Amino acid sequence: MGKIAVIGVKEDTGREFLNILCENGVNATDVTALELKAVLGTVVSFGEDDELDIEALEGFDFKRVEAAVFFGAKEVLKRYVKKAVDAGIKVIDATGALIADETVPMVIDGVTDKEVLKNTRAVMAASSAVYQVLLPLAEVLKSHKLKRLSVNLFCSASHYGRGGMDELFTQARKIFLNESLADHEAVFKKQIAFNVLPQVGEFVGDETELEWRVNAEIKKVLGGELKVVANAAFVPTFIGDGAFVNAEFFDDVDADELRELMKKTPQVVVFDKTVDGGYVSVDDVQGEDSVYVSRVKQDVSVENGISFWSVADNLRAGSAVNVYGLLKGMGL
């Protein structure tokens, strides 16, 4: 793999991506760690034995590297993403900064055609939510055409980074100690501990930001006239997301066939037993590289419908693993 710039190494997803690079044998000397603001002497861990000096993003010459990967806030990083694209290197945008650019494909490793990745310099990695919804359907879509997707997402506090996880921990601790929660709702709009919040991101019309993004990204990845509806809620877990997915097809497909097709997809594990505990939970997948599928059944509310439960570590499988696969697919 060639020389890579990783922007957003202080983000949870950025740190996880560095772990993935190290685990796959990438040399520390081939990785440049960047942050918008970097204090001289600041470092970030690269595996157990190495550290990377964090350089400032402002003024960085992207021609020093062969590829750049962006994690973090799209509003802050948007102009730097475009600067990297203009430098002619390969770019993976995992921030959403390029979502409005029709020339930049939305991609998922294992779903997007390999030729698209080989022949494209700039791509946008789909969000972790869309990754865990569409990857299990990768083999299914080769023989069955989707008509409609209904997605219900259960999102962990890690969507709001370290601040979100810290707020969940602090609130839970204070409730156990019977202390006031005053001044401890800085990240979430309401109490997140022991609660479920039907808002992930700011509102965009009737939808929240994540609901809008899931809708837009699925259509951009798959194309066509697919109908999509998404609902998202925060649940009081630290890392890992769950999703109930209802898929309607134009032709007949049964649950047994779907399970067998899903098993053929790399990075997808089907564990589906109709007994107590015969499924994979969010807690089970923390630190795992794969998307896990359970509760596959017919959706009898429509003619050609299937329902399934999908769980994944949103920081690792849903983001870092996907981006690493995309880098390899782009020829790095």
Rounded to an integer, the average pLDDT of 250-256 is: 95
Mean pLDDT of the chain: 95
**What distance in Å separates the CA atoms of residue 164 and residue 160, rounded to the nearest whole number?**
5
What is residue 182's predicted lDDT score, i.e. its pLDDT? 77
Contacts of 237 (CB under 8 A, 6+ apart): 156, 157, 282, 283
pTM: 0.94
Per-residue pLDDT for 280 more than 70? yes
- Give a three-class secondary structure readout of 252-270: CCCHHHHHHHHHCCCCEEE
Q: What is each CA distance from 291 to 57, 219, 238, in whole angstroms?
A: 33, 21, 17
What is residue 184's predicted lDDT score, i.e. its pLDDT? 66
Model confidence pLDDT, tens digit, residues 110-132: 999 999 999 999 999 999 999 99
What is residue 11's predicted lDDT score, i.e. its pLDDT? 93
CB 242 within 8 A of CB 200: no
Residue with tokens 């109709």: 274
Q: Beta-carbon neighbour count of residue 115 at 10 Å?
A: 9
Task: Please name each of the domains of the chain with its CATH number.
Answer: 4-126+320-329 (3.40.50.720), 133-314 (3.30.360.10)
Model confidence pLDDT, tens digit, residues 188-202: 999 999 999 999 999
Pairing of strands 90-93, 106-107: unpaired
Rounded to an integer, the average pLDDT of 287-312 is: 97
Model confidence pLDDT, tens digit, residues 17-36: 999 999 999 999 999 999 98
Contacts of 290 (CB under 8 A, 6+ apart): 267, 268, 269, 312, 317
SS3 247: strand
**What distance in Å separates the CA atoms of residue 218 and residue 132, rounded to the nearest whole number?**
11
Cβ-count burial of 25 within 10 angstroms (0-12 exposed, 13-18 middle, 19+ buried)?
exposed
Which strands, in side-by-side order, build the sheet including 146-155?
227-234, 146-155, 241-249, 305-312, 291-298, 268-270
Model confidence pLDDT, tens digit, residues 225-243: 899 999 999 999 999 999 9
Q: Check the CA dihedral 34-39-43-44 and report its sign.
A: negative
Beta bridge partners of 56: 35
Rounded to 5 degrees, φ, ψ at 318 are -70, -20
Per-residue pLDDT for 164 more than 80? yes
What is residue 97's predicted lDDT score, i.e. its pLDDT? 87
Per-residue pLDDT for 62 more than 80? yes
